[in-house]
Amino acid sequence: MRYSFYIILLILAALNLRPAITSISPLMQSIRADLGLNGTIASLLVTLPVLGMGTFAPLALRWSQRWGMEKVIWCSLILIGLSTFLRSWAHVPGLLLGSALIAGAGIGMISPLLSGFIKKYFPHPAAMVSLYSVSMVIGAAIASGLAVPMQNWTGGSWSIALSCWSLLALIAAVFWFKLVIHVNVPAAEQGIQRTRMPFRQKRAWLLTVFFGLMSSIFYSFTAWLSPIMQHIGYSQLQAGYMVTLFTLTQIPVSFLIPAGAHRFGRRKWWLIGCSIMELIALTLLVMGNLPVLAVILLSIGTGGLFPLALMLPIQEAPDTAQANALSAMNQSVGYLIGAMGPLMIGWLYDSYHSFLPAYLVLAVVISVMILLQWRIGHYTGDTDQTASVRPVMSSE
C-alpha cells in the first residue's frame, strides 16, 4: 500500500481519540441539570473513559499479539462508534456512564498501538507523532466547538449532539478495513509474540508516572474548563468557545513544540517550560484575571506535553514490539492515574463550592511533574538520543 494511505489511516484513527470525551465538557451543565447529577458523578463522564483507557491498554498489547495490531485498531474504532451512537438514548445516568466506559475501552486499545503503528510503517516517526497529536487535537477541537451548536441544531438534545460523533468512527473503520484484509497477522506479528510491558524497569516507571500526572492535568481541564468559565461568569455558549480556544490553540502547539524539541534537543527544558505555562495559567485563574490568556497558556502547556509524552516510548524503544509494550505500560497505568484528576475536581467543587482548592491541588501536581521531568532529562541527556529502556523479552 502507498505511504500516503498509511498517513490517512493514522489521521482518521487519531481524530477519534478525543470527541467522545471533549464533547462532554461544553454540555456538562445541561447534562447535570437534565439528569440531576452532582459534580462528582458528572465528573465520571470523563473519569470513566480515562479509566477504560488505562484498563484496556494492556489488553491491546496482548490482543495485538494474537490477532494483529491493525485488526485490534479496526475493532476498537467500531467499539468507539457503537458506544458513541448509544448516547442517542442516554437519558438515564447508567446508560450514559456505560457508554463513556465503553468508548474509553476502544480509545485505550487504539492509543498505545498507534505508537507501534508509527514505528512499523513510518521511517521518520517524529514527524508522524506530531501529525498524530495534531490530528487528535483537531478531533477534540471539532467536538468541543460544535457541541453546543449541535445541541441547538437538534432542538436542544444533548444526547443526539453527543451521538453524532459515531459517524467519524464509522468513516475511519471503513478505511482501516482495507488495511486489515491485506495484513497477514501471524507473519506480521511473530516479532512481538514474547513481549511484555517493562514493569521491572525504573526508567519505564518514571516515564509512566510522568504520563499519568500529565494526563490528570489534561483531563481535569478537558472535563471542567467549561464549568470553570461559567463559574467566572461566561454563558454556556461563551464557555464552549473557551473550550474551543483551549483545543484549537493546541493544534499548532502540538506540531511546533515536538518539532522544536526534535530540532534543537534539550527535551528536558521543553517539558519543564510547558509545565511552567500551566502553573502561570493556574495563577491567573486563582487571581481571576485575564481568563482568555490563562486558557491560551494552559493550552500551550497541555498541548506541548502530550505529544512529547507520546514520543518518549517511540524514541526510547528499539523496535515496534518494545514501542507497543512501553506505550501500553505508560498509558495503562498513566491513564489510571489521570482518571483521578477530573474526579478530584468534581469532589473538591462539591465539598467547597469553589474551584480554588482544585487549583491548589493541581499546582502541587504540576510541581511534582516538573521534578519528574528533570529526572527524565537527567537520564536521557540533552541530545535526547539515548534509548534508556532495555528490551524486555520473556515468554507469556
DSSP per residue over 68-116, as a string? -HHHHHHHHHHHHHHHHHGGGG--SHHHHHHHHHHHHHHHHHHHHHHHH
Q: How would you classify residue 233: left for phi > 0, otherwise alpha for psi between -120 and 50, otherwise beta?
A: left
pLDDT at 396: 31
Written as nine digits, the cell of 168 is 467519524
Q: In this predicted model, which residue has the larger pLDDT, 270 or 123?
A: 270
Q: Which residue has the cell 539515548?
A: 386
Q: How would you classify residue 266: left for phi > 0, otherwise alpha for psi between -120 and 50, otherwise beta?
A: left
345 has pLDDT over 80: yes
Mean pLDDT value of segment 153-176: 92
**Residues in CB range of 356: below 8 A, 6 or more apart:** 286
Mean pLDDT value of segment 135-141: 89
Quote the CA–CA distance of 148 and 50 in Å, as a whole number: 23
Mean pLDDT value of segment 12-36: 89
Q: Residues 299, 267, 9, CA angle at the centre, nearest 5°?
A: 65
Written as nine digits, the cell of 140 is 477534540
Q: Which of 76-80, 230-234, 345-349, 387-391 has the lowest mean pLDDT?
A: 387-391
Q: What percent of the chain has pLDDT over 90?
A: 35
pLDDT band at 162 (very low <50, low <70, confident <90, very high): very high
Mean pLDDT value of segment 352-379: 89
140 has pLDDT over 90: no
Q: Strand locations in 249-299, DSSP E?
A: none
Q: Which residue has the cell 524486555?
A: 392
Q: What average pLDDT does the structure give for the chain? A: 85
pLDDT band at 125 (very low <50, low <70, confident <90, very high): confident
Q: Is the pTM of this model over 0.85?
A: no
Quote the CA–CA distance of 51 and 55 in Å, as a whole number: 6
Quote the CA–CA distance of 255 and 191 in Å, as a whole number: 31
How does pLDDT run across 244-291, given as a tens digit for each residue? 889 889 889 988 888 888 777 777 899 999 999 999 999 999 887 789
Element holding 379 (H helix, E strand): helix 356-380
What SS3 state is found at 317?
A: coil
Q: Which residue has the cell 471542567?
A: 224
Quote the CA–CA distance of 353 and 162 in Å, as a whole number: 27
pLDDT at 195: 67
Quote the CA–CA distance of 56 and 177 in Å, as a whole number: 22
The strand pairing partners of 212, in sequence order, are none
Q: Hey, what's the torsion of the CAs at 173, 246, 224, 273, to 10 degrees? A: 110
pLDDT at 60: 81
Q: In this predicted model, which residue has the larger pLDDT, 128 or 14?
A: 14
C-alpha closest to that of 70 among 140, 139, 1: 1
Mean pLDDT value of segment 51-56: 86
389 has pLDDT over 60: no
Q: How far is CA 297 from CA 150, 249, 279, in A?
A: 28, 9, 9
How does pLDDT run across 307-331, given as a tens digit for each residue? 888 888 877 777 777 777 888 888 8
Q: Which DSSP symbol is given to 391?
A: P
- How close are the terminal C-alpha atoms of the chain, in Å? 32
Q: In this predicted model, which residue has the larger pLDDT, 245 or 196?
A: 245
Phi, psi dihedral angles at 195 (to 5 degrees): -85, 135
Q: Which residue has the cell 464533547?
A: 23
| Burial degree of 33 (CB within 10 A; 0-12, 13-18, 19+) | exposed
Single-letter code of the amino acid located at 205: W
pLDDT at 378: 58
Q: Which residue has the cell 513510518?
A: 122
pLDDT at 1: 59
390 has pLDDT over 80: no
Q: Strand locations in 38-161, DSSP E?
A: none
